[in-house]
Amino acid sequence: MNERCNLRCVYCMPEEGVDFLPSAELLTTDETERLISILAENGVRKIRFTGGEPLLHKEIARLVHHAASTADVNSVHLTTNGLLLERLAPQLFEAGLTGINISLDTLDHQKFVKITRREGLDKVLTGLRTVLDLSFPSVKLNVVFMRDFNHTEIGDFVELTREAPLTVRFIELMPFDAHQIWKTGKFLGAELIEEEIRLQYPEVEIDSGTATEQRLFRVPGYAGKVGIIPAFTRSLCGDCNRIRLTADGKIRNCLYSDDEFNLKALLRDSGSDRDIGREIRRAMWLKPEDGWAAQKLGDHHRESMTQIGG
């Protein structure tokens, strides 16, 4: 919904020289609202706003409100780096947001600057507290897990779930940045992440999670949960029914696919709701069997997750 960002995470965006699309190419708020309505008419029940940084969108609360008031949409979530949450969380709660995922890879100030190339850890932590105080129905922390970077912090993250009804999810690094830091040995697979959790918390119990969470654990007596997302090893693709809408109005039916279904062209060429609905259903039907199949088909010209909607 928005390619821009106020951080420059090393695995996501280059430090400088990002080619953003001209604003005339981006969907307007009216166009986005119309697409949300048509998506819902064609079977979409869950909406997630992501980006780029969705909280930089000037009308994010209006979009959340529209999605939350759309018939048949039963959950409206948002994935954010958390920097602007302290200020915006109350409006988003009022607008009907049902879940927030905050991305935070370290609890150490210096490492935060190293990974995001900006200051801001305190702001993110204040944002997290604000969200927990407002009692959003679902609050999750996304931690991209990297060898020799934050793997020593696993226990610190699990401890956040002791008091707070929060799900901390460790995510495998994916090969989606232009500089391919992925190739520098930082990748740590889901199996190893699980081994490490079990080593430190032998008493963990298995819990049930959403379709993307390979494993969900709970330390007995803790308020929250801990999950693992095999974003690269892709063992869960069979259960995935997601589609993504880019900021410039195109549908991607798999994170690993380069195929696009151009809804903006239909919108701006007087397409009817029916025409647009047909294209949405085509994107759903043509969803690749899994992320490996999708990757084989594409030519991989993407520079960053911000262009796909992470």
* Binding residues vs ligand SF4 (CB under 6 A): 5, 7-9, 12-13, 51-53, 81, 103, 305-306
Given ligand SF4, ligand SAM, none, residue 13, with its beta carbon under 5 to 8 Å by kind, binds: ligand SF4
Stretch that binds ligand SAM, among 49-57, 132-140, 219-227, 293-301 (CB under 6 A): 49-57
Q: Which is nearer to ligand SF4, 38 or 231 (CB)?
A: 231
Which parts of 240-299 interact with ligand SAM (CB under 6 A)? none
Told to check if 70 binds ligand SAM by CB under 6 A, we report: no
Find the binder of ligand SAM among 32, 70, 80, 130 (CB under 6 A). 80
Q: Which is nearer to ligand SAM, 33 or 172 (CB)?
A: 172
Told to check if 81 binds ligand SAM by CB under 6 A, we report: yes
CB of 142 to ligand SAM, least distance (A): 4
Q: Which helix (H) or strand (E) holds 268?
A: helix 263-268
CB of 268 to ligand SAM, least distance (A): 26
Told to check if 188 binds ligand SAM by CB under 6 A, we report: no
CB of 52 to ligand SF4, least distance (A): 5
Q: Which is nearer to ligand SF4, 32 or 81 (CB)?
A: 81
CB of 103 to ligand SF4, least distance (A): 6
Given ligand SAM, ligand SF4, none, residue 160, with its beta carbon under 5 to 8 Å by kind, binds: none
CB of 80 to ligand SF4, least distance (A): 8
CB of 209 to ligand SAM, least distance (A): 16
User: Do the beta carbons of residue 101 and residue 136 sit within 8 Å?
Assistant: no
Find the binder of ligand SAM among 3, 33, 177, 213 (CB under 6 A). 177
DSSP class of 28: P
User: Would you call 8 helix, strand, or coil by DSSP?
Assistant: coil
**How are strands ordered across the β-sheet holding 138-145?**
46-49, 75-80, 99-103, 138-145, 167-172, 225-229, 215-218, 205-207
User: Do the beta carbons of residue 259 and residue 284 sit within 8 Å?
Assistant: no
User: Would you call 131 helix, strand, or coil by DSSP?
Assistant: helix
Residue nearest to ligand SAM (CB): 310
Told to check if 51 binds ligand SAM by CB under 6 A, we report: yes
Rounded distance, CA 203 to CA 145, Å?
22
Stretch that binds ligand SAM, among 75-83, 188-196, 204-212, 239-247 (CB under 6 A): 75-83
Supply 263's token pair.
């809804």
User: Which 3-state string (H, E, C) describes 286-303?
Assistant: CCCCCHHHHHHHCCCCCC
The residue written with tokens 């940084």 in the block is: 53
Supply 276's token pair.
């647009």
User: Do the beta carbons of residue 253 and residue 287 sit within 8 Å?
Assistant: yes
Residue 101, CA distances (Å) to 13, 42, 51, 80 in order = 19, 25, 12, 6
Query: Phi and psi (nearest 5°) for 225?
Result: -130, 165
User: Would you call 170 helix, strand, or coil by DSSP?
Assistant: strand
Told to check if 12 binds ligand SAM by CB under 6 A, we report: yes
Rounded distance, CA 248 to CA 112, Å?
30
Footprint on this chain of ligand SAM (rule: CB under 6 A): 5, 11-12, 50-51, 53, 79-81, 103, 142, 144, 171, 173-174, 176-177, 231, 305-306, 310
